[in-house]
Amino acid sequence: MGAGPAGIYAADTLLKAETSCEVDLFERLPAPFGLVRYGVAPDHPRIKGIVNALHNVLEKPGVRLFGNVEFGADIKLEDLRSFYDAVIFSTGADADRALEIPGIELPGSFGAADFVSWYDGHPDVSRGWPLEAESVAVIGAGNVALDVARILAKTADELLYTEIPYNVYQGLAASKVREVHVFGRRGPAQAKFTPLELRELDHSPNVEVIVDPEDIEFDDGSVAELRANRQAEMVTKTLQEWAIREPGDRPNRLYLHFLHAPDEVLGGDRVTGLRTERMELDGTGNVRGTGRYREWQVGQVYRAVGYLSAHLPEIPFDHRNGTIPHERGRVLDMDGQQLRGVYTTGWIKRGPVGLIGHTKGDALETITSLLEDRQGLAPAEEPDPDAVEQFLLAKGCEYTTWDGWHQLDGHERELGAARGRERIKVVERAEMVRVSQTLRP
């Protein structure tokens, strides 16, 4: 269940094993590729190039795609067990983790995942976004925070070459945002940005990136981190260079703040500001509060403090960690006993950490466990490949297929070509399904 990178890598690993098998991938959305299609910023084409590798897996004999199929509604665990010897859950994480500070529920306070879904043309979110504030805050010090800040700060025309749908272009063109503040509670050495992602902020001709020299602080723990982590050293070097330069005259401004912990979102019936507490390094690379506060006049707040997986019906779930309990990919019930034939991989297995490529190691561990167990798996009661299709048709499920993806892919490319772009995404779910099923009898 799940046709994003985690599920596709698991299928690929299984197909490469020295065993004969067939793999069906089920996806809640009408199109495959999950996070790559709906979680990566549109101005990151090199990351989206991962689609090419995933595409090659889905082209392999023995792999089928069933899109627009929701687990728990269209198909249940007992159904899957009747059609398959084993089931792997790889449904990822696409909700926002909570940030428990006063005022976070005010209108004008948003989760980063919701904003990402909007600008990536996710079929299940609103078509509009209220970019009505001139100054906004982004809470978080990871790549998602940078993506959100960069899209907020850039002009719509800068993104017109990408695959953004027309409604997103219109929303960004009407945006009043001119100033973006990104807040990290720890120091620059502890930032979770990747060097390339950070440097890209400064590539826009319309965005001035500014770092306060007072935020560039290091303690013994920070120095040790920099010596041990080449990536952290590169990030810090870039931040230091930006801190000592004179600001230019690019029209929009993006400020990177460190050692500022969010304390309260301010406002009555809407967001009018953000209060942060100044932090200080404690010698170990961690921080402690100073009791000094500052209020920032911002009209919107975006929290980018992590993603969260959804609890799947019938499947055990660790609500504290937001993951499926498992042992090396084998799903465990609430008593710690293995659910025979049920496995998990990806972010719903390990939590939303690491880059897309890290899911390969996850998949290898899970598939290794599955193959170790294969002699004890209960055989499918209805192994005929046509059985699941007949089941979905009888349920009235308008599922999409890999051939249907080719149709949708070609349609989106045609839409883009007419406007001198590589692709323009189709956003409406019904339209995605209609285009995907055009040639189906």
Nearest to 191 by CA among 225, 227, 157, 156: 225
Q: What does 80-91 look like in DSSP terms, one character per residue? A: HHHH-S-EEE--
Kind and range of the H or E run holding 265: strand 260-266
261-301 pLDDT, tens per residue?
999 999 999 999 999 999 999 999 999 999 999 999 999 99
Q: Give pLDDT, residue 241.
A: 97
401-435 pLDDT, tens per residue?
999 999 999 999 999 999 999 899 999 999 999 99
Instruction: Report the distance separating Cα 439 and Cα 441, nearest Å.
Output: 6
Q: Give pLDDT, residue 248.
A: 93
Query: From start to end of 126-251, where are the E strands?
Result: 135-139, 179-184, 207-211
* Residue found by looking up tokens 């294969």 in the block: 374
Nearest to 5 by CA among 47, 51, 60: 51
Please answer whether residues 397 and 433 qualify as being in contact, where contact means their C-beta atoms are separated by less than 8 angstroms.
Answer: no
CATH superfamily of 95-307: FAD/NAD(P)-binding domain (3.50.50.60)
Q: Give pLDDT, residue 44.
A: 84
Nearest to 371 by CA among 5, 2, 14, 6: 14
Cα–Cα distances (Å) from 219 to 140, 188, 232, 235, 238, in that order, read 21, 11, 14, 16, 18
Instruction: Report the distance separating Cα 18 and Cα 16, nearest Å.
Output: 7
* Residue found by looking up tokens 């051939």 in the block: 403
Nearest to 164 by CA among 198, 124, 112, 127: 127
Instruction: Report the distance separating Cα 374 and Cα 85, nearest Å.
Output: 9
What φ, ψ does residue 358 adopt, rounded to 5°?
Answer: -65, -20
pTM comes to 0.92
Alpha carbon 157 to chain centroid distance? 24
Please answer whether residues 32 and 8 qualify as being in contact, where contact means their C-beta atoms are separated by less than 8 angstroms.
Answer: yes
Mean confidence (pLDDT) of the chain: 93
> In the CATH scheme, what is the code of domain 5-93+309-399?
3.40.50.720
- The partner residues of 139 in beta bridges, in order of sequence, read 183, 303
Q: What are 397's two structure tokens?
A: 């499920």
Sequence ranges of the domains in the chain: 5-93+309-399, 95-307
First vs last Cα of the chain: how many Å apart?
A: 26
Q: Give pLDDT, residue 357.
A: 66
**Low pLDDT (below 50) residues in the chain:** 441
3-state secondary structure of 135: strand
Length of the chain: 441
